[in-house]
Homo-oligomer: A and B are copies of this chain.
Amino acid sequence: MLERIRIVLSHTSHPGNIGAVARAMKTMGLSQLYLVNPVADPDGVGRARSSNARDVLEGAVVCQSLEQALAGTVLAAAMTARQREMAPPPKWAREAAPEIVSAAAHGPVALVFGNETAGLSNEELALCPMPVMIPTNPDYSSLNLGSAVQVMCYELRLAAIAPGAPPAPEMEPAGFEEIRRFYEHLEAAITQSGFLDPAHPKRLMPRLRRLFDRVGLEKDEVSLLRGMLKTFMKPGNKVD
């Protein structure tokens, strides 16, 4: 679905921003870049800021008008920093992203970003049925163009692809019996050391269990902890 979403930049002034947009898109798996009347062509600065997303930059489609960039789309969403007169109420980025991704199931979709200083004109916005806003600090809402594209592409990626579990090493969790024996070992060790007075246990074991239960101990960690406890105990005290 991400391949079907066009990022459309209208009247962009700074080549560096176009490069940053290409990079932002590619990091999130988007590749369709449309440039409407860019004030400057991507130059050396643009290429530098695109980093290794040069393919996105070089594949950009340059258009003479926003209508041309929207041709063939089934939905056009447009970024705005404020509610405009006569426009539908804007949706928040997080709310809009799944709707944009759903629409992409039916055909190409566009997400339009205006000029760095002036944003989109009212005429441009009128071509886009879905205005979208990124929530910002009301005292300073001036998002950089590349940053706005980054946030939107991030939301689109999360809407399109549930990220699943983060990568984690393959650790084997400790079993019930191993954990029970660890707690017995721990209790014996702190009783012997005098930290736990069986006559006045003061909830020490429940507090320690709460801590170690929370962590989700691994098999190797139980061995590590029990190895450590052994060295803390006086010789001659054997705990299974």
A residues near B, CB below 8 A? 20, 23-24, 26-29, 49, 51-53, 82-83, 85, 89-92, 94, 133-137, 140-144, 146-147, 150-151, 154, 157-158, 161, 163, 166-169, 189-190, 193-195, 204, 207-208, 211-212, 214-217, 220-221, 224-225, 227-228, 230-232
Contacts and interface: CB of A to CB of B under 8 A. Distances in A.
A180 B88 CA distance: 24
Contact of A144 (B29, B90, B146): B146
Nearest to A20: B144
Contacts of A82: 167
A135 B158 contact: yes
B195 A207 contact: no
Given A52-B140, A150-B151, A204-B224, A195 B231 contact: yes
B221 A190 contact: no
Given A137-B28, A151-B151, A163 B232 contact: no
A161 B135 contact: yes
A215 B146 CA distance: 33
A8 B204 CA distance: 37
Contacts of A29: 137
B89 A144 contact: no
Given A147-B27, A150-B151, A94 B135 contact: no
Contacts of A231: 190, 193-195
Contact of A147 (B90, B140, B141, B146): B146
A133 B224 contact: no
B224 A168 contact: no
A165 B61 CA distance: 35
Contact of A169 (B89, B142, B161): B89
A79 to B, nearest CB: 13
A154 B140 contact: no
B221 A207 contact: yes
